[in-house]
Amino acid sequence: MRTSLKVVVPLIVSVAFVSLLFAAYQVRTERRVLRNDLSRRAEILAESLQETIEPLFDRGADKNMQRLVERFGQREHLKGIAVYDADGSALAITSGLPPTFRTRPAAAARAVQLKSGSGEFLRVSDTPLHVFALPLHRDGEMAGTLVVFHDASYIETQVSRTLRDSLLNALIQTLLITALALFLVRWTFTDPLTRTAKWLRTLRLGQSHPPPSVPQGEIFDQLHQEVSHLARDLGTARAIAETEARLRDSNASLWTAERLRVSLRNKLQNKPLFVVANREPYMHVWSDKNDKSIDVIVPASGLVTALEPVLLACNGTWIAHGSGSADRQAVDAHDRLRVPPERPSYTLRRIWLSSQEEQGYYYGFANEGLWPLCHIAHTRPIFRPQDWNDYQKVNGRFADAVLKEMESTESPILLAQDYHFALLPRMVKEARPDARVAIFWHIPWPNPEVFGICPWQRELVDGLLGADLIGFHIQSHCNNFLETVDRAVEALTEWDRFAVNRKGHVTRVRPYPISVAFPENASPAKQVRSAGEERAALCEELGIEGSLLGVGVDRVDYTKGILERFRAIERFIESHPGYQNRFTFVQIGAPSRTHIERYHHFLDEVVAEAARINARFPAGRWKPVVLLKRHHSHEEIARFYRAASLCLVTSLHDGMNLVAKEFVASREDDQGVLILSTFAGAAHELSDALLVNPYDVQQLAAAILRGLEMPQEEQVARMRRMRQIVREHNIFRWAAHLLSDLTEIRIDVPERVEVP
């Protein structure tokens, strides 16, 4: 109530003040109207009497004059009438007028002087009077004056009544407005605030409740948004504290987002980190709604998960290709914006590419050339001179943007990402020798014979050697790169410390196995459904029957071994018919790079192969293969991970493949079997998976049988060991080790010699 009064009292005072001003205005207006009306009536009466009294001057009929003024003096509010001669003496006067009017009043003298009517208000013996005087003539000469006296006390009475009514109305209005304001303030303001305060109190006490509903409106929308952010931050901080406490209790040394922020804040020494990647962390796209609104989406990327905590900690800059349909509408005049949207903490700088540049640099040289070249997946790489020109041009544009962002930073730190920017490290390093430059190559690096297929291998290797640090997923990729350096360029390869010295510049080459964010704060108790319940729900949604599910999650890419996987499932069903009507494999296949002819045809091949296998084993609602060829959110995929009896990762060649680690991280029940290709980088860490050669269809079919029939005790033991590995070697550890090594590199900048 006290809070409501604090809000309402100023309103009450304002309403009362305005009401009083209005009452005063009404009283003033009423007095003016009544006085003007009385003056007008007095003037009309005097003019009508003038025509009657002036002839009586000729006859000298004073008695007739007296009778006339007596007769007219009986009118309403009329106090009396008096006729004065030219000297100001009364010739006739209504009885009852005060003696002071035996001689003419000042208004009469003024009327004679002005030779026209004159009136005034005056007070005689506490009685308010109105006096109006009009000159009288005889034979064209001034003969005297006629004066009309009105009692004006009724005006004061009427004005007093008006004042009383106005004050009463003001009081009633103030009381009603006050009551209504109190009700509205409590309903729309204090009650929502009270509910919000109680909600925050429960959060502070560690209790979890949904946020209260608040009215719609700009102020409340902003308040609700900020309070929600505060509550989320409080929950995050509490979860981080609980995690850190558990880690201390267990004497564990795990990397978390918070630990990464603290560590890098110290190592970067308050310097911003510059990240270059083809993919942006936030995209602005036009909504599907008719109102043409803009939605903000976060592309599915482990890279964003790893690097955003660092950029948040150091106020860094992420430079990326602006590929969202509404990206241009979200940036400022310098193509920048602050992100994340709910709490802007670092800068996103967008680079715009023409359709030709994107086709040549990204789809052409990067994904029709370097991608198949590095993956050795029996798809011929295509190298076109125009694509190479576009690749060089776009790398140069990104390098120019990086240098522009770095202008005001001393000894800046740059982390470039992946095979899209092989030339950029050299471009940046030559312009800024004081910069620490690293690039992480997310795909495999093939042996030198294979990489030698590229017509521009020398330029690519030289561009990469502009970096101070090059990171790969596994050691064998580092070895292949150093062997390629030996064959492609003139440089000193230091195998003992895995470094390359080219023209006095040393580049270190290290393995940094990338990973995922392990769900430290999750627990099985928080899951809505068990694995069996989730499996039943998914089968119902898909319209299929089956008690056992397998899952594969991939972009529809020829390097992922999807066709080999399907053929192994066909062989398994064929060899073990007892699993018909029981086992269904769900392939989540996100269409990818369909602008490229090879990918377009491969998608058709995958669809046709799934249809062929399903047609071979017709059985009502049961299907051996369910192909879901669309993009799925993390939440949707997590449901399949939790419900699956086994997960198949059968890459023909892969740098790491995070699907394997995502599946392991999601199995909080320690159930499920991972079948993993030996050609995926993840196989070097997850040795408790069932490792297979994806080209060996019979071996892969046997692994499916073993996974489905594996005893629960063995499943639990294997899954727990793999989960421990993923937990300890998580994405934050990857970022911490890579950036820590980069910040510890000593940069010797050659002194510039002034030439006279």
DSSP result, 238-302: HHHHHHHHHHHHTT-----HHHHHHHHHHHHTTPPEEEE-SS-S-EEEE-SSTT--EEEE----H
Window from 302-306, 450-454, 556-560, 666-670 with minimum mean pLDDT: 302-306
pLDDT level of residue 245 (50, 70, 90 thresholds): very low
**Per-residue DSSP letter, 680:** B
pLDDT level of residue 476 (50, 70, 90 thresholds): very high
Task: Say if residues 673 and 711 touch (Cβ distance below 8 Å).
Answer: no
Give the chain's domain count.
3
CA angle 514, 516, 518 (to 5 degrees): 135
Task: Say if residues 320 and 351 touch (Cβ distance below 8 Å).
Answer: yes
| Whether residue 322 sits in one domain with residue 451 | yes
Q: What is the pLDDT of residue 513?
A: 95
Answer whether residue 704 is part of any domain.
yes
More confident residue, 239 or 164: 164
Measured CA to CA, the distance from residue 76 to residue 72 in angstroms comes to 10
Residue 568 has pLDDT above 90, yes or no: yes
Measured CA to CA, the distance from residue 328 to residue 334 in angstroms comes to 11
Q: What is the pLDDT averaged over residues 104-117?
A: 87
Task: Say if residues 548 and 645 touch (Cβ distance below 8 Å).
Answer: yes
Residue 341's contacts (CB-CB under 8 Å, 6 or more residues apart) are: 282, 296
Answer whether residue 522 is part of any domain.
no
| Whether residue 692 sits in one domain with residue 564 | yes
Peptide bond preceding 340 in cis form (omega within 30 of 0): yes
DSSP bridge partners of 141: 138
| Residue showing tokens 């002036």 | 54
Q: Which two tokens stand for residue 521?
A: 């704060």
Q: What is the pLDDT averaged over residues 548-569?
A: 95
Answer whether residue 754 is part of any domain.
no
61-94: pLDDT as tens digits: 667 788 887 877 667 778 888 888 888 888 888 8
pLDDT level of residue 108 (50, 70, 90 thresholds): confident
| Whether residue 533 sits in one domain with residue 507 | no
| 361: amino acid identity, one letter | Y
Q: What is the pLDDT averaged over residues 387-401?
A: 97
Q: What is the pLDDT of residue 445?
A: 97
Residue 266 has pLDDT above 90, yes or no: no
- Which of residues 455, 482, 511 is at a domain's end? 511
Q: What is the pLDDT averaged over residues 367-379?
A: 92
Structural domain harbouring 42: 2-157
pLDDT level of residue 251 (50, 70, 90 thresholds): very low
Q: What is the 3-state secondary structure (H, E, C) of 60-129?
A: CCHHHHHHHHHHHCCCCCEEEEEEEECCCEEEEECCCCCHHHHECCHHHHHHHHHCCCEEEEEEECCEEE
| Whether residue 427 sits in one domain with residue 533 | no
Task: Say if residues 311 and 346 touch (Cβ distance below 8 Å).
Answer: yes
pLDDT level of residue 525 (50, 70, 90 thresholds): very low
Which helix (H) or strand (E) segment is 203 a member of?
helix 191-204
Window from 27-31, 46-50, 117-121, 195-199 with minimum mean pLDDT: 195-199
pLDDT level of residue 413 (50, 70, 90 thresholds): very high
Answer whether residue 376 is part of any domain.
no
Q: What is the pLDDT averaged over residues 190-212?
A: 67
Task: Say if residues 186 and 4 touch (Cβ distance below 8 Å).
Answer: yes
Residue 301 has pLDDT above 80, yes or no: no
User: 114-128, 136-150, 309-323, 396-410 — which one is most confidently predicted on average?
Assistant: 396-410
| Whether residue 409 sits in one domain with residue 326 | yes
Answer whether residue 595 is part of any domain.
yes
Q: What is the pLDDT averaged over residues 217-246?
A: 59
| Whether residue 547 sits in one domain with residue 455 | no
| Whether residue 455 sits in one domain with residue 553 | no
**What's the CATH number where 109 sits?**
3.30.450.20
Answer whether residue 379 is part of any domain.
no
Phi, psi of 319 (to 5 degrees): -110, 120
Residue 7 has pLDDT above 60, yes or no: yes
pLDDT level of residue 243 (50, 70, 90 thresholds): low
| Whether residue 590 sits in one domain with residue 659 | yes
Q: What is the pLDDT of residue 231?
A: 64
The share of the chain scoring above pLDDT 70, in percent, equals 88
Q: What is the pLDDT averaged over residues 237-247?
A: 54
Residue 137 has pLDDT above 80, yes or no: yes
**Per-residue DSSP letter, 755:** P
Which helix (H) or strand (E) segment is 371 a member of?
helix 371-375
C-alpha torsion angle, residues 238, 240, 243, 249 (rounded to 10): -80
**Per-residue DSSP letter, 212:** P
Residue 248 has pLDDT above 60, yes or no: no
| Residue showing tokens 């013996």 | 125
| Whether residue 684 sits in one domain with residue 577 | yes
Q: What is the pLDDT averaged over residues 512-517?
A: 92
| Whether residue 624 sits in one domain with residue 713 | yes
- Which of residues 126, 157, 188 is at a domain's end? 157
Answer whether residue 755 is part of any domain.
no
Q: What is the pLDDT averaged over residues 120-143?
A: 86
**Per-residue DSSP letter, 451:** H
Q: What is the pLDDT averaged over residues 154-159?
A: 88
Q: What is the pLDDT of residue 14?
A: 81
- Which of residues 483, 511, 539 is at a domain's end? 511
User: 140-149, 288-297, 736-745 — which one is most confidently predicted on average?
Assistant: 736-745
628-652: pLDDT as tens digits: 998 888 889 999 999 999 999 999 9
Q: What is the pLDDT averaged over residues 674-692?
A: 97
Average pLDDT, the chain: 87
Answer whether residue 742 is part of any domain.
no
Residue 521 has pLDDT above 80, yes or no: no
**What's the CATH number where 489 sits?**
3.40.50.2000
More confident residue, 710 or 310: 710
Q: What is the pLDDT averaged over residues 601-613?
A: 96
Residue 194 has pLDDT above 90, yes or no: no
Residue 224 has pLDDT above 80, yes or no: no
Q: What is the pLDDT of residue 747?
A: 85
648-662: pLDDT as tens digits: 999 999 999 999 999
Length of the chain: 756
More confident residue, 551 or 292: 551
Residue 342 has pLDDT above 80, yes or no: yes
| Whether residue 446 sits in one domain with residue 348 | yes
**CA–CA distances in Å: residue 595 to residues 65, 116, 418:** 118, 102, 20
Measured CA to CA, the distance from residue 678 to residue 694 in angstroms comes to 8
Q: Which two tokens stand for residue 434?
A: 């004081």
User: 84-93, 200-209, 451-460 — which one is most confidently predicted on average?
Assistant: 451-460
Residue 600 has pLDDT above 80, yes or no: yes
| Whether residue 448 sits in one domain with residue 477 | yes
